[in-house]
C-alpha cells in the first residue's frame, strides 16, 4: 500500500475508533484560518481543499480572516479567485473576511497563523506586549463564536506562550483543545535523518520535539528503517554526532531558509500544520507518536502545570489524544527538558505582566 493510500486508510480507521459519528460528505468540517493572506496561508489552503488534512472524502468549509488593509484585502480576493479556479471537489464553501465574527462562526478547527515577530530595535517586552494583545483578541473571538469542541492550533511564535494567552481569554473552551505547532521541528528532524541515510521520510518515525519551537529535537526513541535509533546508529559516538549535528541544524534551519529565500518558510510550515491536524483528527498509526504542544496537566515527565509544552502524543481520531507517558530519557535529555521547561515558564510569567490590566471575559458566551 502506498503512503497516500495508507494515510487515507488511517484517517478512516481513526475516525471509526472515535466515540463520535463518522462525518459524511454532507457534513463539511469548518476550518478558520486567521492570518490567511500571507505566504503560509497561500500554501495551506490548497492542501486543505485537496483533502490533505481530513482525507479524500471529507468536504471542508474554509473561513479565512486577515487585516482590513487594502493590500491584504486584495491578496485575499486573489486567493479566493484561485480557490475557485482550482476546482477542488472537497471545497464546499470558502469565505474571505476581515470580520472575526464571520470567520470564527461555528469553527471545528481554528488555525492561528499570525503573530508579531521579533524585529531589530524592539525589546522582548515590546514583542510580548503586542502578542498578548493579538491573542487576547483571538481568544475572545474564539470564546464568542466557535463550537465548544473546536480545536485551536497556534502557529505564530512564540507559539507556546501565544497558545497559553489565547486559552486564557477563551475560558469556556477546554484547555486540552489548544495546541502549539511543533510538528515543523519533527518534520525537519525526520527530513535530515532521511537525507543522512538516503532513505524516504516514511522510514523515519517517532522523532520528538520537546518543549517549543527549535528548542529540543530528540531522536533517542526514533525508528529508522524499521529499527530503533540505537541500532540504526550503531555506536554511541555516531549517535552523539548525529544528535548534535541535527540539533544544531534544526535550530538554524529557519534562519537558513530566510537567508536563501529572502522569506520565511511557508510551504514546510503549511505541511506541518496539515500533518498536525490530520493526525489529531484521523489518528496516528499503531506504534507511532507525534509531537504537539499541549496543555501540561497530564503529569508526564514531571512537567509543571499550566504550560503549553510539546511532548510525544498518541492520537485516536476525532480530536482525541493522550500523552505518551513512559519514554525513558537519558540524564542529559532530562537536564535539557528541565532547562526548556524553565524557559517556557519564564515566558508565560512574563506574558502575565501584560494581562493584568486586561482580564478575560467575565462570563463565557454560548458557543455557536
- Domain of residue 17, CATH code: 3.40.50.720
Q: How confident is the model at residue 6 (pLDDT cuts 50, 70, 90)?
A: low
Lowest mean pLDDT among 22-26, 203-207, 263-267: 22-26
Q: How confident is the model at residue 256 (pLDDT cuts 50, 70, 90)?
A: confident
Count of structural domains within the chain: 2
Domain boundary, last residue among 126, 158, 180:
180
Catalytic residue among 92, 145, 213, 324: 213
Burial class (CB in 10 A: 0-12, 13-18, 19+), 354: middle
Q: How confident is the model at residue 362 (pLDDT cuts 50, 70, 90)?
A: very low
Lowest mean pLDDT among 120-134, 235-249, 269-283: 235-249
36 is in an annotated binding site: yes
Q: How confident is the model at residue 195 (pLDDT cuts 50, 70, 90)?
A: confident
Mean pLDDT on 183-211 = 92
Q: How confident is the model at residue 192 (pLDDT cuts 50, 70, 90)?
A: confident
Mean pLDDT on 11-15 = 59
Predicted TM-score (pTM) of the model is 0.89
Residue 23 lies in a domain: yes
Percent of the chain with pLDDT over 90: 70
Question: Could you list the residue range(s) of the whole structural domain that residue 286 is in?
Answer: 183-351
Mean pLDDT on 275-295 = 98
Highest-scoring range by mean pLDDT, 93-102, 232-241, 353-362: 93-102
219 is in an annotated binding site: no
Rounded distance between C-alpha atoms, residue 277 and residue 274, angstroms? 5
Q: Which three cell numbers stand for residue 67?
A: 487585516
155 is in an annotated binding site: yes
Residue 356 lies in a domain: no
Task: Identify whether residues 123 and 148 lie together within a single domain.
Answer: yes
- Residue 330 is predicted with a pLDDT of 87
Q: What is the dihedral of CA 85, 22, 281, 279, to 10 degrees?
A: -100
Residue 267 lies in a domain: yes
Per the CB < 8 A criterion, the answer to whether 159 and 212 are in contact is yes
254 is in an annotated binding site: no
- 63: Cα separation from own chain's centroid: 18
Active site residue 213: yes
Three-state SS across the chain? CCHHHHHHHHHHHHHHHCCCCCCCCCCCEEEEEECCCCHHHHHHHHHHHCCCCCCCCCCEEEEEECCCCHHHHHHHHHHHHHHHHCCCCCEEEEEEECCHHHHHCCCCEEEECCCCCCCCCCCHHHHHHHHHHHHHHHHHHHHHHCCCCCEEEECCCCHHHHHHHHHHCCCCCCHHHEEECCHHHHHHHHHHHHHHHCCCHHHEECCEEEECCCCEEECCCCEECCEEHHHHCCCHHHHHHHHHHHHHHHHHHHHHHHHHHCCCCCHHHHHHHHHHHHHHHHCCCCCCCEEEEEECCCCHHHCCCCCEEEEEEEEEECCEEEECCCCCCCHHHHHHHHHHHHHHHHHHHHHHCCCCCCCCCCCCCCCC
Task: Identify whether residues 189 and 175 lie together within a single domain.
Answer: no
Rounded distance between C-alpha atoms, residue 269 and residue 239, angstroms? 27
Task: Identify whether residues 249 and 347 lie together within a single domain.
Answer: yes
Amino acid at each position: 500500500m502506498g503512503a497516500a493510500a495508507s494515510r487515507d486508510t488511517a484517517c478512516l480507521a481513526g475516525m471509526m475508533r472515535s466515540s463520535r459519528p463518522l462525518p459524511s460528505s454532507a457534513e463539511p468540517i469548518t476550518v478558520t484560518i486567521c492570518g490567511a493572506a500571507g505566504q503560509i496561508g497561500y500554501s495551506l489552503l490548497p492542501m486543505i481543499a485537496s483533502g490533505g488534512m481530513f482525507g479524500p472524502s471529507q468536504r471542508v468549509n474554509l473561513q479565512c480572516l486577515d487585516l482590513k488593509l487594502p493590500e491584504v484585502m486584495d491578496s485575499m480576493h486573489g486567493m479566493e479567485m484561485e480557490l475557485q479556479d482550482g476546482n477542488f471537489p472537497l471545497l464546499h464553501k470558502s469565505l474571505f473576511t476581515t470580520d472575526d465574527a464571520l470567520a470564527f462562526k461555528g469553527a471545528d478547527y481554528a488555525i492561528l497563523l499570525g503573530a508579531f515577530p521579533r524585529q531589530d530595535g524592539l525589546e522582548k517586552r515590546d514583542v510580548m506586549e503586542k502578542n498578548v494583545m493579538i491573542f487576547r483578541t483571538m481568544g475572545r473571538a474564539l470564546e464568542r463564536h466557535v463550537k465548544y469542541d473546536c480545536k485551536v492550533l497556534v502557529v505564530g511564535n512564540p507559539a507556546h506562550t501565544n497558545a497559553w494567552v489565547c486559552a486564557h481569554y477563551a475560558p469556556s473552551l477546554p484547555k486540552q483543545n489548544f495546541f502549539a505547532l511543533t510538528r515543523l521541528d519533527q518534520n525537519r528532524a525526520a527530513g535530515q535523518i532521511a537525507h543522512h541515510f538516503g532513505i524516504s521520510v516514511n522510514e523515519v518515525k517517532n522523532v520528538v520535539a520537546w518543549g517549543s519551537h527549535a528548542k529540543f529535537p530528540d531522536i533517542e526513541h526514533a525508528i529508522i528503517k524499521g529499527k530503533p535509533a540505537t541500532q540504526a546508529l550503531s555506536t554511541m559516538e555516531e549517535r552523539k554526532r548525529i544528535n548534535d549535528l541535527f540539533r544544531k541544524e534544526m535550530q538554524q534551519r529557519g534562519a537558513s531558509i530566510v537567508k536563501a529565500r529572502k522569506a520565511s518558510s511557508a510551504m514546510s510550515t503549511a505541511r506541518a500544520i496539515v500533518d498536525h491536524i490530520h493526525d489529531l483528527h484521523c489518528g496516528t498509526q499503531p506504534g507511532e507518536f507525534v509531537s504537539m504542544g499541549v496543555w501540561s496537566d497530564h503529569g508526564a515527565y514531571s512537567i509543571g502545570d499550566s504550560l503549553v509544552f510539546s511532548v510525544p502524543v498518541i492520537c485516536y481520531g476525532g480530536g482525541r489524544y493522550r500523552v505518551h507517558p513512559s519514554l525513558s530519557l537519558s540524564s542529559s535529555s532530562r537536564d535539557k527538558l528541565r532547562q526548556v521547561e524553565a524557559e517556557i515558564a519564564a515566558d508565560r510569567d512574563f506574558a502575565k505582566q501584560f494581562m493584568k490590566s486586561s482580564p478575560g471575559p467575565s462570563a463565557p458566551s454560548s458557543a455557536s
